[in-house]
Amino acid sequence: MPTATAIAHPNIALCKYWGKRDRALNLPSVGSLSLTLAPFSTTTTVEWGAARDEMVINGREASAEEARKVFAVLDLVDSWRPKVRVLTGNDFPTAAGLASSSSGFAALVLAACAAAGHPRTPEQLSVLARRGSGSAARSIFGGWAEWKVGERADGMDSHAFEIANEAHWDVRMVVAIFDAGPKAISSRDGMAVTQETSPYYPAWVASAPRDLAAGRAAVRNRDLDALGQVMERSALRMHACMMAADPPVFYWKSGSVWAQDAVRSLRERGIPCAWTMDAGPNVKVLVPTEHAELVARRLGAVADRVHVLEPGGPARLVG
C-alpha cells in the first residue's frame, strides 16, 4: 500500500483569526499572522488503500466526529479515493488552546497527498489544510506565516504564505499552561456564536487589517515592541468580541489574568515581552531568547507547567 509520513508543528497566531466569511469552505473574515513552533509536533502516517477507513489518534480509535472531519478532507485530496488508514500522534496536549488542530491537519494533507501520488504546492496544501481547521493553513509553512482572507468565492486564494523563515529572528514563545484539558467550547462553535450575536463583531473585522499590516511590518523589522503592541491588541480585541457574545464565549481563568500582569511587570523592568491567548486559558509569551528562561521561571511560579518553544520549520515528509 502507498504510505507516507509527515511531521508538522503547531502555530500560534500573533494577529488572530476569529470568524468566517464562508463556513463550509472555512474562509476567514480577517487575515492572520502566526509563528510556527518547535519542538512540539504532530506525526501522521497515511496508508492509501486499507480494508476500511480507520483513524487512530495517540493510540486510541478516533471519535466519530474526529474521523468525520479527517475523512472529509481526504475526500478533497481525491474524491475517488480508496479506503484509508490514518495514524496520528501529538507530542503535546491535544485541544488545550495549543493549536493541535493546526499541526494535525497540516501533517495530514501533506502525508495524504504524498501517499495518494498527488503532489501539491505549499499554497495548495495550505488551502486543503484550511478545510480541516483554519489555523492549519499556516502550519504548512515554517517561521512567520500570514494567512490571506482571499477574494475568490471558491477560496483558492485563501492560503498562507511565509513572511520570514524560522531563522529570521532569535525569539522564544514561552507557553504557560493553566489547564491542559479540552476546551470549554470549540473554536468553530465559539466563532459561530460570536459572529451571530456579538455587537462588537463588525468592529473586530473592521479593525483587524490594520493590525495585520502593522504585525507584518514588525516581524520583518524584528521589532518586538511594535509586534508586542499588535499581539496584545489583537488578542484583547478578539477576546473582548467573543466575551460580548450571547451566551458569552469565555476562555480566561484567573491564572491567565495573573500571567498578563506578570508580563506587564517584566516589561516595566526592561524585559521586552508580550502575551497572546487563544481558545483556552493558556498564555503564550513572545520574548528574545536571552530572556526566555527568566520569563519561564516567573510564569512557572503560578502555571501548572511551562514550555519554552522556538520558531519551527515547515511541514515535511519523513517517510
Q: Out of 158, 187, 256, 282, name the contact with ligand PMV by CB under 6 A.
A: 187
Of 11-19, 40-48, 211-219, 290-298: span binding ligand PMV (CB under 6 A): 11-19
Residues 31-70, one symbol each (x = binds ligand PMV by CB under 6 A, - = not), give -x--------------------------------------
Query: Which residue's entry shows cell 478532507?
Result: 73
- Contact call for residue 276 and ligand PMV (CB under 6 A): no
Q: Out of 279, 285, 295, 309, name the contact with ligand PMV by CB under 6 A.
A: 279
- Contact call for residue 16 and ligand PMV (CB under 6 A): yes
Amino acid residing at 80? W
Residues 160-179, one symbol each (x = binds ligand PMV by CB under 6 A, - = not), give --------------------
Between strands 171-177 and 84-90, the pairing is unpaired
Of 9-17, 40-48, 108-116, 211-219: span binding ligand PMV (CB under 6 A): 9-17
How many chain residues interact with ligand PMV (CB under 6 A)?
15
- Output the smallest distance, CB 297 to ligand PMV, in A: 26
**For ligand PMV, the closer CB: 50 or 236:** 236
Residues 117-146, one symbol each (x = binds ligand PMV by CB under 6 A, - = not), give ----------------xxx-----------
- Output the smallest distance, CB 186 to ligand PMV, in A: 7
Of 16-24, 114-122, 223-231, 254-262: span binding ligand PMV (CB under 6 A): 16-24
Of 10-18, 166-174, 195-203, 281-289: span binding ligand PMV (CB under 6 A): 10-18
- Contact call for residue 101 and ligand PMV (CB under 6 A): yes
- Contact call for residue 198 and ligand PMV (CB under 6 A): no
- Output the smallest distance, CB 26 to ligand PMV, in A: 8
- Output the smallest distance, CB 290 to ligand PMV, in A: 27
135 in the Ramachandran plot: left (φ > 0), alpha (ψ -120 to 50) or beta?
alpha
SS3 of the chain = CCEEEEEECCEEEEECCCCEEECCCCEECCCEEEEEEECCCEEEEEEECCCCCEEEECCEECCHHHHHHHHHHHHHHCCCCCCEEEEEEECCCCCCCCCHHHHHHHHHHHHHHHHHCCCCCHHHHHHHHHHHCCCHHHHCCCCEEEECCCCCCCCCCCCEEEEECCCCCCEEEEEEECCCCCCCCCHHHHHHHHHHHCCCHHHHHHHHHHHHHHHHHHHHCCCHHHHHHHHHHHHHHHHHHHHCCCCCCCCCCHHHHHHHHHHHHHHHCCCCCEEEECCCCCEEEEEEHHHHHHHHHHHHCCCCEEEEEEECCCCEECC
Other Cβ atoms less than 10 A from the Cβ of 210: the count is: 12
- Output the smallest distance, CB 246 to ligand PMV, in A: 19
Give residues in contact with ligand PMV (CB under 6 A).
13, 16-18, 32, 99, 101-102, 133-135, 187-188, 278-279
